[in-house]
Structure 1
Amino acid sequence: MEHHLIQIFFLIFTGAAVVASLALFGRQPLLVVYILLGAAMGPHGLAWVTDVQLIAEIASIGIIFLLFLLGLDMQPQALLRVFRQVTHVTLISSVIFALAGYGIGYLFGFSATENLIIGTSMMFSSTIIGIKLLPTTVLHHRHSGELMVGMLLMQDFLAIFVLLMLISAASGGDSYMRFAVSLISLPLLIAGSVLMVRYILQPLFARFDRIGEYVFLLAIGWCLGIAELAEYGGLSREIGAFIAGISIATSPIAPYIALNLKPLRDFFLILFFFALGGGFDLSLIPHIALPAIILAIIMLSLKPVVYHWLLRNQSESHGLAWDIGLRLGQNSEFSLLIAYVAFNTSLIGNNASHLIQAAAIITFLISSYIVVFNLTNPIALKDTLRRD
């Protein structure tokens, strides 16, 4: 098994290095390359990497670190202020996107339950792509970065609520109890994290801050520990990681931790995008190609317009409203998770599940192109747009 895993990593990262080099010469965004590489090398392509589920499980650590690093750079007071600003924008836009998705599913003859889940999966934008393509200076030091992060986090909370409701609908009373437990565990987890940081982590950081290896180890242990506690509490590891990050955001050592964890985050995110492409069943394309393309085009067109309209009504500038709208024009990795959960609980069929996945992947690809070629981002191919 060890040799098998090393061989998988060799294929993924050597292949990614080769095609990434070609992509940069061809002026193509790297996120697109990782997805296409996964589709080509995965079990439905050349079948060089067949255990995509294992890769996906390992890659989920990248999402955890992404949310942890995001929390590290956000002050709690600023987060609460942003939540107040984006709540109505997030809720109104989510309803509009859900109705659009429901309508498309209805036109192509899916069942009422499938249409409801298709619509629900359209409500969210990708936290990974949105943050990955946002310059660091914007992410941490500008109003537009705060608004965008606030909207994405609010959507993440809504997505977790939807996932819990799907599990409850399929499993009955026990899951309703789990949902109630999750509502109680959130404030308890936040309060417990703050107290542990104040009385345990801060003194340890202060005493051993010169030992970089220890600081690195303690930060990873804290991140994964709180993430696991959140999972046991009925929340998600991603939410737990964000709480872990924001609980030590006021510490002077937070920037040092963030700087040292970024390469580890990028390592796992490459695996995430590879697994995303590798998990798609190419044989179903003829059955869902037309509705997936229409659904993706509608969402790519609708989301920027809706976000622009809502943000302009909130007195944000014309340029800022379009910038955020275009950056959030794709579907979310939570869309894929909703499709997975709904299919495994027999709420939707295989075609509806792959419709959601195909639409999400199409929006990931096109949205990445739109941002990389038109907006400031860390991997822009034009020097005038490249910012980090």
Structure 2
Amino acid sequence: MYIIFAIQVDPVLSILVVLSIGIILTSFVFKLLKQPYIIAYILVGIFMGPNGMQIVTDESLISNLGSFGLVLLLFFIGMEISLPKLIANWRISVFGTLIQVVFSVGAVWIVGYFLNWQLEHIIVLGFVISLSSSAIVINFLQNKDLISSKVGQNVIGILLIQDVLVIPMLIIINYISGAIPQPKDIIKQIIGAGLILGIIIWILKNKKIKLPFGTYIRKDHEIQVFIAFAFCFGFSIITTFFGLSSALGAFVAGIIVSSAEETKWVQNSLYAFRIIFVALFFVSIGMLIDLSFLIENIGIVSIMVLLAFLTNNLINTIIVRVLGERWSDSFYTGAILAQIGEFSFILGATSYFIGLISGYTYQLIISTISITLIISPFWIFLVGKIIAKSKKASLDSQKSI
């Protein structure tokens, strides 16, 4: 008589193990090639996802887990930035971002005029290409140790204003489709924005604050993890309740924690989680890419990718330069912000599900965003080389005089 023990493997556990193996193998190759791991994560999503080898088909699960990565990323940035410096550069952040959005819509309108695109498609695509990737940019700034630099502070300021502008962009998209937002929702957003502004003013006034029970948890590493999670995701829930970005709430939570005394344990507690969830976020992006659509429409996708890079790089360069920065810093800032961001997926998905754009346009948006994310590190590297050669040529000419 044989007794058979049937052990049911948790499908979530299986997915995470398979993805981990794929990430390890792909990242090892990219390390040998000295390329950023982010591209490896996206490629894993492409090849293992439902549009690839279909090893992992539950992309919604990975997307939900990956959204935690973006929240954790903004939380860590909130702990690292200098709030006074960020506010001191508010002109570049606010005016620069607003001008960029207007010019991005204008650039898409020029292309759409020749391709006979409808006005609502032009507005949606203009909004989409005007947003940069917080995940890509912040990861790059951290790897290059540029967070506290002037370029880093300007870039982060622009990213934060872009996150705030996502809300009015969604409202405009709903208006175009005929779905008018309820007054109570607008009032909630105004109240939420007022609370965030009040918290920032309070922190600037007090400079240093004390977290509750700080002396009791200083050596309790287990409790530290849960408290750090509560701060990060608790504030994300609050801002989401008020109709604002969850990532914005995490950023404010990071500012609060950084203003408290002896908070190094927060970074130590959550750093490993950030690596995992950020990787899953980029894997989820890769899973959205339909390779057959990309191959069939490579021409128009290439035009949109080139338009995004040139427009974002040029517009940001000019804006930052006009607002007082050096040409080299302005050009580099534009390159760092040249790709299309993760919040653009939200704009595209919202426009698709309310019937404002077709499935073709939605796939065009997904493909364009994804390709810009993959190419972004190479674009930044290329612009950095151009700037370095320009500086060297300038020094050589001065020496010869």
Equivalent position of 2:162 in the other structure:
155
Does residue 102 (structure 1) correspond to residue 104 (structure 2)? The answer is no
The structure 2 residue matched to 1:362, chosen from 371, 386, 395, is 371
The alpha-carbon deviation at position 173 of structure 1 amounts to: 4.6
Which segment is superposed worse, 101-110 or 291-300? 101-110
> Could you tell me the TM-score, scaled by structure 2's length?
0.86
Matches within 5 A, 1:1-388: 3-135=10-142, 138-167=145-174, 170=177, 172-173=179-180, 175-189=182-196, 191=198, 202-372=211-381, 375=384
Retained in 2: the 8 A contact 1:287–1:351? no
Retained in 1: the 8 A contact 2:41–2:283? yes
1:77–1:266 CA distance, 2 compared to 1 (3 A): same
Structure 2 counterpart of 1:148, which letter?
V
SS at match of 1:249: helix
1:75-117 C-alpha deviation (Å, 9 max, x unpaired): 4333322223432221112211121123323433332211211
SS at match of 1:125: coil
1:104, 1:164 → 2: CA distance? 24
Retained in 2: the 8 A contact 1:64–1:238? yes
1:193–1:228 CA distance, 2 compared to 1 (3 A): farther
SS at match of 1:271: helix
Retained in 2: the 8 A contact 1:106–1:112? no
Q: Share of identical aligned residues, percent?
A: 25
Structure 1 counterpart of 2:161, which letter?
M
Structure 2 counterpart of 1:243, which letter?
V
The alpha-carbon deviation at position 283 of structure 1 amounts to: 3.1
Aligned-residue CA RMSD (Å): 2.7
1:167-218 C-alpha deviation (Å, 9 max, x unpaired): 45557355443123211222225547998999x9713123321222222210
1:320-361 C-alpha deviation (Å, 9 max, x unpaired): 112211111111111111111110111110111111111111
Retained in 1: the 8 A contact 2:305–2:372? yes
After TM superposition, what 4+ stretches of structure 1 lie above 6 angstroms from structure 2?
A: 192-198
Retained in 2: the 8 A contact 1:45–1:282? yes
Structure 2 counterpart of 1:152, which letter?
L
Retained in 1: the 8 A contact 2:42–2:286? yes
> Could you tell me the TM-score, scaled by structure 1's length?
0.89
The alpha-carbon deviation at position 17 of structure 1 amounts to: 0.4
Which segment is superposed worse, 22-31 or 172-181? 172-181
Retained in 1: the 8 A contact 2:294–2:301? no
1:171, 1:14 → 2: CA distance? 46
Structure 2 counterpart of 1:218, which letter?
I
The alpha-carbon deviation at position 285 of structure 1 amounts to: 2.5
1:253, 1:164 → 2: CA distance? 41
The alpha-carbon deviation at position 147 of structure 1 amounts to: 0.7
Retained in 2: the 8 A contact 1:228–1:237? yes
Which segment is superposed worse, 297-306 or 71-80? 71-80
Equivalent position of 1:386 in the other structure:
none
SS at match of 2:258: coil
User: Where does the alignment leave 5 or more consecutive residues of structure 2 unmatched?
Assistant: 1-7, 386-401
2:382, 2:299 → 1: CA distance? 26
The alpha-carbon deviation at position 316 of structure 1 amounts to: 1.1
SS at match of 2:297: helix
Question: Which protein is bigger by CA-based radius of gyration?
Answer: 2
Retained in 1: the 8 A contact 2:108–2:126? yes
2:256, 2:288 → 1: CA distance? 35
2:95, 2:85 → 1: CA distance? 17
User: Where does the alignment leave 5 or more consecutive residues of structure 1 unmatched?
Assistant: 377-388
1:171, 1:258 → 2: CA distance? 45
The alpha-carbon deviation at position 372 of structure 1 amounts to: 5.0
